[in-house]
Chains A and B, each alone.
Chain A
Amino acid sequence: MTSVAATAHGAQAHHDDRSFVRKYIFSTDHKIIGIQFLFVSLFFLLVGGLLAMQMRWQLGFPGKPMPGGGVLPETMAPGGVILPEYYIQLVTMHGTFMVFFAIMPLLVGVFANFLIPLKIGTHDMAFPRINMWSFWTFLIGGVVMLSSLFVPDGAARAGWTMYAPLSARHDYSGASIGQELWSVSIIFVGLSSILGSLNYITTIINNRAPGMTWFRLPLSVWSLFITAILGLLALPVLSGAAIMLLFDQIIGTHFFDPAAGGQALLWQHLFWFFGHPEVYILILPAMGMVSDIIANGSRKPIFGYHSMVFAIVAIAFLGWIVWGHHMFVSGMNPTLGSSFMVSTLVIAVPSAVKTFNWMGTMWRGNLRFHVPMLHAVAFVAMFVIGGLSGIFMAATPVDMQIHDTYFIVAHLHYVLFGGSLFALFGAITYWYPKMFGRLMSEPWGKVHFWLTFIFYNCTFFPMHITGMAGEMRRLYDPNQYTFLQPWQPMRVFISISAFLLFATQLIFFVNFWWSLWKGQKAPQNPWEDNGLEWSLPSPAPHGNWEKVPTVYRGPYEFSSPQVAEDYLPQYKKLPTDREPARVPLAGH
């Protein structure tokens, strides 16, 4: 312990003598790794958005040259007019970037890394070097995926779900290197997530501060813990599947090629066995962070803390037995469809419990509408739409009509954009001071919020309607179908809203960058919150605490009658509080 102790208090007291490279590039500090994830995945978010804008151009104005499209090569968009083969690359890469390189790393890579040690009260992750590798493998995966956009015959083009055998055989898809790079990249993503998850799990189990019992953990930590378990067990399945897909592509195996005895549905089983837990990986951390923000904004303890925890656990458990609902019309055994339908409908229950508990938290509160709170309330409002529209497709007969239509696109964007991304905007604004020592601009944050809220709904809500009318997904030009031609004005409306939505996000990016240098200096506890991270100066120093704080109570003691002010930090010792028992760790 001696050598450790020597550096542990180096944080605040004396200056940090690590070199620039060790400090900011090959850093093992969980906060720096979190911030590295933040910058990289915000970049990929922008890439994913740009791809979506091109898709929307084609859907809104088919056959017209795209402004600025002239820079694209002849094989993609001659004269700026998008070709069908480029369009399906856009579809594929938009989904891939957003799911694997934007939302997932933003939620897990950024906030699991940044928040877990700060919120449970420890100096760093259990395995800091493995944590560093988790970032670098992710970056390799991202660079590989990005490079696939620039190979001669283009990026992968079988949808982000990579349904075989379209993805498995190059003569079917028409792309070769792009498809292979996709598989390679996904293997790296899987590795990165596994390394990250095992770190988060070990850290949360073993390294909590004194007094930080399981049921004093903030819900954000609970949700990140459960998410880590999902990631730990789901990502290896994806990696295994991607490896087999890669083998089909390059060494001639036949796992997914029915022409040589393989099974096309096997890929779907593997993919969705990973993919449904993945859906919860993409929403649970958002739910957790929103719980923290709503309790703070309402100045009230979270309503039904224990049932919130059990709801997270229930969602995670049920998340493993619902994957077949992506395959109701795939030719899967229909009896299996029945059981998947029931488990899928049941998973709505814990989601409903969470929603009502958030409302219960706001009920009789004293609501402060700072920017994170606005996003959190919007999260609840939008997540409800995404959750409820999920019930339509859970009912198997209705799914017959809306499967693979824009109804699904609307649903998943209501959950991933309306849910996860709103939560992320809120969370970034909320913990920005602890990351960078400055506050983001409040007025611009509000402008960004309201414009996003409006244009987001204008973009995605109409998709429910065209989806009901039967507009299929991933169509290069829906006007091929007579029954879809009358909907063209709606597509134009959606496209224009989408452009405005994208433009609005630039406000966020500018605010983010501007505040890095010019933002108002943040006090130690700008939101008057209870978490352990707010006991540190902003930005949090290397090594966090010289001596980890002791925890005396749960994280949501707002408006407690015990104190005059309306918050009571976990680390604040009242005269009535007793020191937690010190339990020596056996076997050390």
Chain B
Amino acid sequence: MHWWLPLKASTFTGPIDGLFLAILIITGIAFVLVEVGLIWFVVKYRQRPGRKAFYTHGNTRAEVIWTTIPAVTMVALGLVSNHYWVQIKGRNSIPPNAYPIGIHAKQFEWQITYPGADGKLGTGDDFTVRNQLHVPVGRPIMVQLSSEDVIHSFYVPQFRVRQDVVPGMDIKAWFQATVPGTYELGCSQLCGLGHYRMRAQVFVQTQDDYDAWMKQAAQEASQ
């Protein structure tokens, strides 16, 4: 059991976890400020006989301060977040050398199409495997997502990558795995009664292992 965000296994984990921590610190300060303040007020100003509350309708300076500070913080946070958002999901974020893998979602399975030996999708040597996503480590992967029926969502928690798979749209997403190992790909958008079991195994392998697996799998697929 991992009491925090899941294992860091892709290049997105750096910025996303960093941003998460930054927001946690900012909101943590606000949280402590408010809750401690509330408790303090509750104790200190509880009703006592013979006392009248301080009669005031507000203080413009205090209000300007506590409007400005959150406003500045939020805009700054927006700018920082947008910087990473553009790198992760932006229009031109997918690296040109990304390795393409086709993922077709349907109720309730993932059909994963590999480009075969030529490294290109849509050619004769493509082959499709059910519910098994193998990716080489340390190389940008571009997943081309399509759906047969309803909206599904491609989600690998350890990669911090999530993208809805929408029927009628061809959506491309990318990630780069950094740690070899076995992970799980889950559907995170309610897609029907089998939503809970729409999962696939993700194998992050070294390039050599991946090439070997692909050779074998291509052979099995062609039989």
Contacts and interface: CB of A to CB of B under 8 A. Distances in A.
B82 to A, nearest CB: 5
A302 B55 CA distance: 10
Given A396-B82, A405-B188, A165 B47 contact: no
A482 interface: yes
A520 interface: no
A355 interface: yes
Given A91-B190, A346-B75, A483-B6, A362 B196 contact: no
Interface in B1-21: 1-6, 12, 15-16, 19-20
A237 interface: no
A559 B32 CA distance: 30
A331 B16 contact: no
Interface in A401-416: 401, 403-405
Interface string A469-484: 1101111111011110
A24 interface: no
B63 A353 contact: yes
A166 B165 CA distance: 13
Given A173-B192, A346-B75, A398-B23, A298 B85 contact: no
Interface in A359-413: 359-360, 362-369, 377, 380-381, 384-385, 388-389, 391-392, 395-398, 400-401, 403-405
Interface in B190-218: 190-197, 199
Interface string B46-61: 1110011111111100
Contact of A301 (B30, B55, B78, B188): B55
B147 to A, nearest CB: 8
A129 to B, nearest CB: 40
B167 to A, nearest CB: 4
Interface in A157-212: 157-159, 163, 165-166, 172-174
Given A331-B166, A337-B85, A398 B19 contact: yes
Interface residues of B, number: 89
B86 A345 contact: no
List 3 A-B pairs, minimum CB-CB distance, nearest first: A258-B168, A470-B157, A304-B58
Interface of B: 1-6, 12, 15-16, 19-20, 23-24, 26-27, 30-31, 34-35, 37-38, 41-42, 45-48, 51-59, 62-63, 66-67, 70-71, 74-75, 77-78, 81-82, 84-86, 88-91, 107, 149-151, 153, 155, 157-158, 160-169, 171, 183-184, 186-197, 199
Interface of A: 84-85, 88, 91, 157-159, 163, 165-166, 172-174, 258-259, 262-265, 298-307, 329-331, 334-335, 337-338, 341-342, 345-346, 348-349, 352-353, 355-357, 359-360, 362-369, 377, 380-381, 384-385, 388-389, 391-392, 395-398, 400-401, 403-405, 465, 468-470, 472-478, 480-483, 486-487, 556, 558-561, 566
